[in-house]
Structure 1
Amino acid sequence: MPDFQTFFLFLAASLLVAITPGPGIFYIVARTLVGGRTEGLASSVGLGLGGLVHVFGGAVGISALVIASAEAFTFLKIAGALYLIWLGLKTWREARIVEPTKMQTTGVRRAFRDGIIVEALNPKTAAFFLAFIPQFVDPSANVAAQFIVLGLISVALNTSVDLVATHLAARARAGLRPLILAKMRQVSGVIMCALGATLVFARRAS
């Protein structure tokens, strides 16, 4: 494991990254505004598990292989982008055709599943772990084990921030009138589509 000073720097850097608003937080807020606190929590946990795919994949070199392969990277980012855009369009459509007082949520299981898929298909997450974590790894020790431990800590911090974002978004949602809530669902759909579009333009790590 890295020495205390290096580990402290890792914690500080990871926390800074976690609290910086990014696609993950925007996605969680959007899902919470659509389905409420329960679906937001399920999405947060799903994103965390999706992040673990990249942690363990990076530890065994799978993520590195994907980042190094232009074809694999392109396939992964397009698949993730299309899935996010589909979710966004679905949310937008349902917000328009359903009466505000009768709006149906997608359900906890689907929110959980969507969170896993969205994060697991996000090549930017793989690129981040491969670029960030090795800076704090002690090359004289077991690199794979260190990668996993530091990756788990990073995912835990990100998930904790997502849970806080869920709580805040749920409180804001509770005070919204039905018509405004319907409009917010439409905005959430647009946000998901925009996040999907950003994946399309993601570049491979050079």
Structure 2
Amino acid sequence: MPDLQHLLLFIAAGLLLNLTPGPDVLYIVSNSLRSGAKAGVVAGLGITAGCFVHVFAAAIGVSALLAASSAAFNVLKWAGAAYLLWVGVKLLVSRGSPASSPMACEGTPKTLKQVFRGGFLTNVLNPKVAIFFLAFVPQFIAPVVEHKALAFVALGTLFNVNSVAVNSGWALAAAWMARSGAVRRGMQWLDRAAGAMFIAFGLRLALAESPSR
């Protein structure tokens, strides 16, 4: 484990990275705007669960495989890009009503279980998250540490626990914004904007090159 100075640096860097807008933040905000703070918080928890998959995968070497194998990277990349594009298209064709938006399922509002699953998939299907953990966390593990895999999991867990507070903050802020009548009236346009951004993130992921190249 790092000393106190490096540990504080790790926490600060992790918080700043979690504040950076991306598909995860967009998923939290869109759910919170549509269905309230609870849905946004649950979306964030789903994303955190996906991060834990990447942490444990990196600790046992799966992320190293993704970094070294173009084929493995591309399989996960195309699955993640397809999912993000699907979410984006559903948002673009929605009519701004709960029953017709992708935040709904068969005419009923999306359940918290579905929100959680969507957040999990948004994160776990993104190979760039796996590569991020593989590149970021080891910088804070001292060479003299004997059990590096355990240290990796400990730091990854700390990163994910800290992300819960940041993600919940995004959810609460979006829910507060949704109280505005202008936001409610403009929900259809918010869906369009969110859809376009999800498609942009999906295309960006689809065009990403494997680190092994």
Decide: shared fold, TM above 0.5. yes
* Letter matched to residue 180 of structure 1: G
Counterpart residue number, 1:198: 204
Q: 1:11 to 1:88 in 2, by over 3 A?
A: same
Map residues 177-192 of structure 1 onto 2, 5 A cutoff: 177=182, 178-192=184-198
* Letter matched to residue 78 of structure 2: I
C-alpha displacement at 1:94, in angstroms? 2.6
- Structure 1 stretches of 5 or more lacking a match? none
C-alpha displacement at 1:24, in angstroms? 2.2
SS of the aligned residue for 1:204 comes to coil
C-alpha displacement at 1:54, in angstroms? 0.4
Instruction: Find the aligned partners of 2:167 and 2:50 in 1 and give their Cα distance.
Output: 13
Counterpart residue number, 1:110: 114
Counterpart residue number, 2:89: 89
Instruction: Find the aligned partners of 1:180 and 1:203 in 2 and give their Cα distance.
Output: 37
Of Structure 1 and Structure 2, the greater helix share is in: 1
* Letter matched to residue 201 of structure 1: L
Counterpart residue number, 2:136: 132
Instruction: Find the aligned partners of 1:134 and 1:27 in 2 and give their Cα distance.
Output: 28
SS of the aligned residue for 1:95 comes to coil
Q: 1:48 to 1:158 in 2, by over 3 A?
A: same
Match of residue 120, structure 1, among 104, 121, 124: 124
Counterpart residue number, 1:77: 77
Instruction: Find the aligned partners of 2:31 and 2:59 in 1 and give their Cα distance.
Output: 30
The reply to whether residue 165 of structure 1 matches residue 166 of structure 2 is no
Instruction: Find the aligned partners of 2:204 and 2:210 in 1 and give their Cα distance.
Output: 13
- Higher mean C-alpha displacement, 147-156 vs 169-178: 169-178
* Letter matched to residue 81 of structure 1: A
* Letter matched to residue 51 of structure 2: G
C-alpha displacement at 1:96, in angstroms? 5.7
* Count of matched residue pairs: 205
CA deviations 1:128-162 (Å, max 9, x no partner) are 11111010002222100110011011112223211
- Structure 2 stretches of 5 or more lacking a match? 102-106
Instruction: Find the aligned partners of 2:23 and 2:100 in 1 and give their Cα distance.
Output: 29
Say what the alpha-carbon RMSD is for the aligned residues.
2.2
C-alpha displacement at 1:40, in angstroms? 1.3
Counterpart residue number, 1:20: 20
* Letter matched to residue 208 of structure 2: A
Instruction: Find the aligned partners of 1:175 and 1:50 in 2 and give their Cα distance.
Output: 32
TM-score by length of 1: 0.89
Provide the identity percentage.
37
TM-score by length of 2: 0.87
The reply to whether residue 143 of structure 1 matches residue 148 of structure 2 is yes
